[in-house]
């Protein structure tokens, strides 16, 4: 699939042909990703797909073995201070020092950032109902996530990197985190990259999408284009089919007997014409859900 | 506007008490892009007279936060609504339901109903209920509902 990629010139994140091995294990293979300024990019994929490894490269915690990584046009390993001072990061494990009180942690973190906005930090703290004198180790998972997000956001970073921000949280806290992401992007020029395996929330808050599978980017691009280019059909054949019918443009075919579910991309008119020539009738047609697209792409296994 | 299916994303909001915002509700279950769901639902609400001419739509940021969706998505829905003449943007103020926006064509109205008629007919067929009986039920229910509406 050829989705127009924004040129790397205006991109906040620009990763080109990045590969990474841990021993013999290939964690990232030929990964390219461009995230334009002002976008919310959802990075989706199952556990172990390479999402966290990719984010660590953006933070300069891992050095590119092959390929290039640029954030704000800079190399995050060589220009770590310049890059990190403009990024807000929430790690998947939300590791914050347990022995600190919340107010201590905020003072401590503020010292690292010239742009720390104390008023904003206090507003967020009140909004998230975090009381200043409480020790971090006594916080619940939901409170930890909110505190982690506060720490990541309070210096008003140009780029917010969130690794599984809502994983393991109840719906109310997830909603608060989504709203914080939405408010961030509504402010001019701020960019968000967040990883998630919850396709529902990715579809809601992202305008760009990158799907990872086994260390590769299966495809990436504007979310609307991804959605509009994939369709899902239920096709009924006159006679039972012993094997899945081979249809042009089809990414994934499942079912048995006379009725088959087909997910196709881009060339769906070819798929329907081909099905008709084999005696198939379209019972149902609609745009595919992200879930269906992801499963179809991952099964097909072929990068676009 | 693309190959939008007008019934998609239009919820039976008047029957079910759902947690929504100004009768708008977003679902990611039926494959329809979110901006199209907003577009369809606003058109439907305007056509049904729920949103009256001259009424102000929520600002993009507010609606995005309330529905927990990307602000660019809401902006795109508003732009498509403006193009379709359903709303008008007043520079420096807000977005309002426009005069021309009222009413769906008969074809569009039918399209909304056909789905429900189909599922009614399929259900009746499965239960072995004759068409005459279905029609009698439709009339009977209508009379009952009208009675309830009138005080």
Q: Is the pTM higher than 0.95?
A: no
Region B112-125 average pLDDT:
87
Structural domain spans, chain B: 1-102, 105-151
Give the CA count within 13 Å in the CB-facing half-sphere of A3: 23
Cβ(A127)–Cβ(A173) below 8 Å: no
- Cβ density class B14-35: b for 16+ within 10 Å, e for less: eeeeeeeebbbbbebeebbbbb
pLDDT for B2 beyond 90: no
Q: Inspect the interface and report whether the beta carbons of A287 and B68 lie closer than 8 Å.
A: no
Give dist(CA A146, CA A177) in Å, integer: 7
Give dist(CA A75, CA A70) in Å, integer: 5
Q: Inspect the interface and report whether the beta carbons of B31 and A179 lie closer than 8 Å.
A: no
Q: Which pLDDT score is estimated for B100?
A: 62
Show residues of chain B in contact with A232, CB under 8 Å.
31
**H helix or E strand, kind and range, residue A280:** strand A280-287
Q: Inspect the interface and report whether the beta carbons of B68 and A224 lie closer than 8 Å.
A: no
Q: Searching chain B, which residue's CA lies closest to the CA of residue A200?
A: B28
Q: Which pLDDT score is estimated for A206?
A: 92
Give dist(CA B87, CA B100) in Å, integer: 8
Q: Which pLDDT score is estimated for A16?
A: 95
A227 touches chain B (CB under 8 A): yes
- Cβ density class A239-275: b for 16+ within 10 Å, e for less: eebeeebebebbbbbebeeeebbbbbbbbbeebbebb
Region A236-244 average pLDDT:
86
- Least CB–CB distance from A204: residue in B26, B31, B32: B26
Show residues of chain B in contact with A227, CB under 8 Å.
31, 33
pLDDT for A186 beyond 70: yes
- Least CB–CB distance from A289: residue in B28, B67, B71: B28
- For A237, other C-beta atoms within 10 Å of its C-beta total 17
Indicate the angle between helix axes B60-67 and B71-83, nearest 10 degrees. 120
| B27, B31, B64, best to mutate vs chain A, most A CBs in 10 Å | B31
Nearest CA distance, A287 vs chain B (angstrom): 5
CA distances from A138 to A95, A96, A133, A150, B85 (A): 13, 12, 11, 17, 55
pLDDT for A254 beyond 70: yes
Nearest CA distance, B10 vs chain A (angstrom): 15
All residues at 6 or more sequence positions from B15 whose CB lies less than 8 Å from its CB, including other chains: none
- For A33, other C-beta atoms within 10 Å of its C-beta total 22
Q: Which pLDDT score is estimated for B5?
A: 42
Give the mean pLDDT of chain A.
Answer: 88
Give the CA count within 13 Å in the CB-facing half-sphere of B96: 11
Q: Inspect the interface and report whether the beta carbons of A182 and B76 lie closer than 8 Å.
A: no
Q: Inspect the interface and report whether the beta carbons of A232 and B68 lie closer than 8 Å.
A: no
Q: Output DSSP code: residue A129.
A: T
The closest of A91, A207, A100, A90 to A154, measured between CA atoms, is A90
CA distances from A120 to A91, A106, A155, A304 (A): 21, 12, 9, 42
Cβ(B12)–Cβ(B2) below 8 Å: no
All residues at 6 or more sequence positions from B120 whose CB lies less than 8 Å from its CB, including other chains: B134
Show residues of chain B in contact with A183, CB under 8 Å.
61, 65
Instruction: Output phi, psi for A184, to 5 deg.
Output: -60, -45
| A39, A192, A289, A293, best to mutate vs chain B, most B CBs in 10 Å | A289
Instruction: Output phi, psi for A160, to 5 deg.
Output: -110, 120
Residues A78-118 have pLDDT tens digits of 999 999 999 999 998 888 999 999 999 999 999 989 889 99
Q: Searching chain B, which residue's CA lies closest to the CA of residue A177?
A: B68
Q: Inspect the interface and report whether the beta carbons of B30 and A286 lie closer than 8 Å.
A: yes
Which CATH architecture describes the domain B1-102?
Orthogonal Bundle (1.10)
The closest of A183, A192, A122, A130 to A157, measured between CA atoms, is A192
Q: Inspect the interface and report whether the beta carbons of B31 and A286 lie closer than 8 Å.
A: yes
A269 touches chain B (CB under 8 A): no
Helix (H, G, I), strand (E, B) or coil at A235: strand
Region A218-222 average pLDDT:
90
Q: Searching chain B, which residue's CA lies closest to the CA of residue A176?
A: B68
Region B112-140 average pLDDT:
90
Q: Inspect the interface and report whether the beta carbons of B64 and A228 lie closer than 8 Å.
A: no
Q: Inspect the interface and report whether the beta carbons of B68 and A288 lie closer than 8 Å.
A: no
């Amino acid at each position: 699939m050829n989705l127009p990629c924004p040129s790397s010139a205006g991109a906040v994140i620009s990763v080109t042909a990045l590969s990474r091995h841990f021993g013999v294990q290939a964690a990232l293979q030929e990964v390219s990703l461009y995230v334009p300024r002002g976008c919310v990019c959802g990075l989706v994929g199952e556990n172990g797909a390479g999402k966290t490894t990719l984010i660590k490269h953006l933070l300069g915690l891992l050095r590119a073995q092959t390929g290039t990584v640029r954030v704000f046009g800079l190399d995050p390993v060589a220009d770590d201070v310049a890059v990190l001072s403009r990024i807000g990061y929430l790690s998947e494990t939300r590791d914050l020092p347990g022995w600190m009180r919340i107010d201590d942690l905020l003072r401590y973190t503020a010292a690292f950032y010239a742009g720390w906005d104390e008023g904003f930090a206090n507003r967020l703290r009140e909004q998230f109902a975090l009381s200043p004198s409480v020790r971090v180790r006594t916080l619940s998972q939901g409170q930890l996530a909110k505190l982690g997000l506060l720490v990541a956001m309070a210096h008003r970073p140009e780029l917010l990197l969130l690794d599984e921000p809502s994983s393991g949280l109840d719906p109310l806290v997830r909603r608060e985190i989504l709203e914080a992401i939405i408010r961030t992007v509504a402010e001019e020029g701020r960019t968000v990259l967040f990883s998630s395996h919850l396709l529902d929330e990715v579809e809601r808050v992202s305008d760009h999408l990158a799907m990872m599978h086994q260390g590769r980017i299966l495809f990436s691009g504007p979310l609307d284009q991804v959605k509009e280019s994939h369709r899902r059909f239920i096709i009924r054949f006159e006679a039972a089919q012993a094997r899945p019918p081979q249809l042009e443009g089809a990414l994934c075919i499942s079912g048995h007997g006379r009725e088959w579910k087909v997910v196709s991309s881009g060339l769906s008119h070819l798929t329907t014409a081909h099905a008709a020539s084999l005696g198939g009738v379209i019972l149902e047609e609609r745009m595919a859900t992200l879930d269906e697209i992801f499963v179809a792409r991952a099964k097909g296994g072929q990068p676009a | 506007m693309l190959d939008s299916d007008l019934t998609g994303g239009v919820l039976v909001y008047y029957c079910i008490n759902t947690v929504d915002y100004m009768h708008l509700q977003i679902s990611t279950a039926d494959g329809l892009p979110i901006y199209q769901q907003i577009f369809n639902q606003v058109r439907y609400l305007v056509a049904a007279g729920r949103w009256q001419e001259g009424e102000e739509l929520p600002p993009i940021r507010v609606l995005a936060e309330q529905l927990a969706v990307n602000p660019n998505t809401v902006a795109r829905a508003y732009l498509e609504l403006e193009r379709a003449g359903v709303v008008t943007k007043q520079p420096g103020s807000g977005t309002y339901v426009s005069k021309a926006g009222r009413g769906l064509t008969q074809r569009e109205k039918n399209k909304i109903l056909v789905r429900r008629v189909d599922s009614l007919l399929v259900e009746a067929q499965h239960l072995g209920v004759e068409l005459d009986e279905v029609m009698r039920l439709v009339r009977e229910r209508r009379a009952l509902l009208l009675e309830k509406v009138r005080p």
